[in-house]
Each structure stands twice: as structure tokens, then as C-alpha cells.
Amino acid sequence: MKVLVTGVKGQLGFDVVNELKKRGHTPIGVDVDDMDITDAVAVEKVITDAAPDAVIHCAAYTAVDKAEDNEEICRKVNAYGTENIAKVCKKLDCKMMYISTDYIFDGEGTRPWEPDDAVTKPLNVYGQTKYEGELAVRENVSKFFIVRIAWVFGVNGNNFIKTMLKLGKERGAVKVVNDQIGSPTYTADLAVLLCDMIESEKYGNYHATNEGLCSWYDFACEIFKCAGMDVDVTPVAATEFPTKAKRPYNSRLNKDKLTENGFNKLPSWQDATKRYVDILMSQNS
């Protein structure tokens, strides 16, 4: 199968391309230098010339706080860019997978969000534009997967784990938010699931994160435990760390639809964190 992957220089796109190669597929990885997704003409040419069986769209504007001051460019990438890709997928009648986010929900309550819940009032520009991207996919593509993820970490890029290890080493103590709840997502684990999905025809909306729930505080404690670091971690309320963009308090995502459709859920977030930290430690040794 020939699969075009956008955002190949990012954490997820990088791992998806590697997983596709392992399975004997032909991945075509592109980033902004190869295909500016905001340029409809360029998108049509690149995808049409590639003639893929499927497109896995990982590219996005993900600077959540900066998006509040750059709404136009954020929408151009996340909504209109996605629409450009969706229209070409429709024309070529190929599968499309769109990577979305927990931020499309308002983050209220404690009930886990269902894949087919109605979306109302994303809290920030990033969440709103990613939701608009979802709408563009649904309106244009019949063979689509929309996969919402959260709290992402991978080898190829910056993330919470790398930040914690750096701060822990420099300061020996950190304060971390303990009233926002969700599940981390390891891109290496997620890439396996996404490839399982793209090989299937089980289309629709899905949630995919590593198993189990935690706060950012719990996550930080586990990171230092895995790294064997003695760091003083203090739990604090999110209000102590005001950010330009509002963050959801409730990022619990129900993933039962995965097993209902024959897919394997991801390993526990603790297991994923341990494997990832081991890789980072071996790289730095």
C-alpha cells in the first residue's frame, strides 16, 4: 500500500513512516518544504502525482498559546489545509486519516469523552481550528478515520517528558499541575495502531491514547521514577500557571471503540513512559 504522510518531521509523522516501512508499505513522507498544505494547488499536485492509496495527515499548527495571537495562520493550517487535503482525497477516492485532539472538547466534567460525542465550545483557537479540520474531513471524504490523541511524546521532537527531565536536572525541584486529567500518548505505540487502522476499512471517529489516567503531576512523578532521579515534585492548581490559551481540565477519552472494531488498545502510560525514558537515557549516556 502506498501511503502519503504529512508532517513527517514531527514526532508522530516520523514514527508512522517508520512503522509503514516495517510492514512493507511504501510511505511518502512530506513536510512543509515538500508540500505547503495551505496551498491548494500544491496539495493537489503533490498528492495526485503520488497517487497514494491513503493519506495520514499528521501535520498541524500545534503552538497552542501562540495560536491565540495567530488565529488566521492557525486556521489556515489546521482547517483550510486539512480541507485542501480532504478535497484531493475525495477526488482520488483514497482513504484519509486525520489526527485530531482532546482539545476539541470543552474539558468540563469528569465523564470520559466518547468518539461520537457532539462537540461544543472548544476552549481555545487551536482546539477550534482542529475541530474545523474534522468537519472538513467529514464533509469531503467518505473513507475517513478521525483519531483524537492527547499529551503526545515521541523521540523526534520536544515534549513534556524531555522538559521535565531537563528541569529536574537543572533545578532539582518542579511544580506541576495536578487538576488536569488525561492520558499520555507515545507516538511509537500510536503509530502501530494507526497503521493497523489504515490497513482496514473500519472508518469513523476514534480516540487513541495510552491506557490509564493521570494528572500532569502524576506523569512527572512517573518520569522521574523511571529516570531514577531524586526530584522534589510539588502538585499545584492550574490557576498557578496561567497560560494564554485555556487548557481542558477533563481530557479523559473513551477508547472502547477500538476494541469494538478489532483494534488493540495501547499499552499503559506507565509502560510507555518507562520505555521512552530508557531510550532517552541511553541516548544521553
Q: Render pLDDT for 245-259 as a digit per residue (tens, 0 to 9).
A: 999 999 999 999 999
Instruction: Provide the whole-model pTM.
Output: 0.96
Q: How confident is the model at residue 119 (pLDDT cuts 50, 70, 90)?
A: confident
Among 61, 98, 126, 206, the active-site one is 126
pLDDT reported for residue 284:
79
**Three-class DSSP category at 150:** coil
Residue 133 resides in a domain: yes
**Distance, C-alpha 194 to centroid of its chain:** 11
Residue 155 resides in a domain: yes
Task: Give the separation between CA 109 and CA 106, rounded to whole angstroms.
Answer: 9
Average pLDDT over residues 29-50: 97
User: CA–CA distance from 228 to each of 162, 168, 224, 277, 280 (Å)?
Assistant: 15, 11, 6, 10, 13
Residue 283 resides in a domain: no
CATH code assigned at 136: 3.40.50.720
Kindly report the average pLDDT of the chain as a whole number: 96
Residue 277 resides in a domain: no
The number of domains in the chain is 1
pLDDT reported for residue 10:
92
Residue 228 resides in a domain: no
| CA end-to-end span of the chain | 38
Q: In which domain, by residue range, is 57 found?
A: 2-159+184-211+253-267
CB 131 within 8 A of CB 104: yes
Active site residue 186: no
* β-strand pairing of 152-153 with 173-177: unpaired
Residue 239 resides in a domain: no
Residue 66 resides in a domain: yes
pLDDT reported for residue 285:
67
Task: Give the separation between CA 76 and CA 89, rounded to whole angstroms.
Answer: 18
User: CA–CA distance from 29 to each of 6, 15, 135, 230 (Å)?
Assistant: 6, 11, 24, 40
* β-strand pairing of 181-182 with 214-215: antiparallel
Task: Give the separation between CA 2 and CA 247, rounded to whole angstroms.
Answer: 37
For residue 278, how many other CB atoms are within 10 A of its CB? 12
Residue 247 resides in a domain: no
